[in-house]
Amino acid sequence: MVFNTKKFIEREKERLRKKVGKEKAIVATSGGVDSTACAMLAHQVLGNKVKVVFIDDGLMRQDEGKSVKALLKKKGINLLILNKQKQFFSALKGLTDPEEKRKAFRDIFYKVLGKAIKDYKARFLIQGTIAADILETKKKIKTQHNVLSQIKINPARYGLEIIEPLKTIYKPQVRLAAKALGLPSQIYKRMPFPGPGLLCRVVDEVTPVRVKIVREATQIVEKYLKALKPFQAFAVLLNDKATGLSKGKRLFGNIIVIRSVESEDALKAKPTEIPYSVLNKIQKELTKTIPSVVKVLYDLTPKPPSTIEYI
Ligand code: XMP
């Protein structure tokens, strides 16, 4: 069936209008296409009855908050940035198991949001959950942090009621909706970025130092792969170490994986066929600008059997 973007938007706007009524709502955006489309939809329906917040969890890409704020400002949305980096890092301290890390992230995320909701006296939280998130959670591939009802978390425990306007559509339709809502191409063409952010790309413990490494590496990988327009491309920091040479000395240093995949909806994916010369440029810049990195690998695994992220 052909997706009718206009009809979809009208239907969801009407639902949102009815559901929220005279109450107030909050949208937490990460700057990704899903949550920003939600913010735009809510802003157009609810005006100043909705507050758009960006939780700075310390796990975002370089200057994410600032650039999202600037983009949304042009659309008349006043983004409130909540700096909660310390809280997230202390909740993640010592955790190495992927699902424990996700759970800790989810708990602190909802605690912070719950407080923002109380402060703003809002009753509703509008979330950018999409159909693929729900499908994968049901299949028990992983617990997505943003699919509360599917994983039997009672939102009331956090003092919220959740609205998920995009839960019936997949990424390509979300992009169409985001464009139709008037968002710029920097947003609607944007690569998917997971809710728990760089946590998904740091294997083992998530510390400010390790996140800084992966953030710098991500910037480099994105810079060189931008022209290839991959579905998703990023860097991963492994928990293994390897011996290498840094500034002329032996160093038992870090290993970075370059991950880049082509996909329609993230349910299946295959690795991008990156020219060797591009891989080599990435390798050179990674080892030059991040001295603790002594090995750079390219991940050749499709999904399945692999997943796109590492956690
Ligand atoms: P995987 O790694 O499961 O990822 O193949 C499939 C797609 O989902 C994104 N992803 C997430 N998105 N919260 C999100 O909002 C999460 O916890 C999460 N985990 C993975 C991933 O980036 C890819 O696009």
Q: Ligand 1 pocket check: which of 133, 147, 164, 193 to mutate, most ligand atoms within 8 Å of Cβ?
A: 133
Q: Is the pLDDT of residue 142 over 80?
A: no
Distance 243 CA to ligand 1 centre (A): 31
User: How large is the angle between the packed helices 33-46 and 171-180, nearest 10 degrees?
Assistant: 40
Q: Is the pLDDT of residue 145 over 90?
A: no
Q: Is the pLDDT of residue 25 over 90?
A: yes
Q: Ligand 1 pocket check: which of 55, 99, 144, 231 to mutate, most ligand atoms within 8 Å of Cβ?
A: 144
Helices (H), the chain: 5-20, 33-46, 64-73, 85-92, 98-120, 131-138, 171-180, 185-188, 208-225, 276-289
Instruction: Give the chain's mean pLDDT.
Output: 92
Strand partners, 260: 233
Q: What is the pLDDT of residues 83-119, one digit of tens each?
A: 999 999 999 999 999 999 999 998 999 889 888 988 9
- Are the CB atoms for 32 and 7 separated by under 8 Å? no
- Are the CB atoms for 234 and 307 separated by under 8 Å? no
**Given this model, what pLDDT does residue 113 score?**
86
86: amino acid identity, one letter: K
Q: Is the pLDDT of residue 241 over 80?
A: yes
pTM of the model: 0.89
Q: Ligand 1 pocket check: which of 198, 308, 310, 311 to mutate, most ligand atoms within 8 Å of Cβ?
A: 308
| Shortest-distance Cα residue to atom 12 of ligand 1 | 194
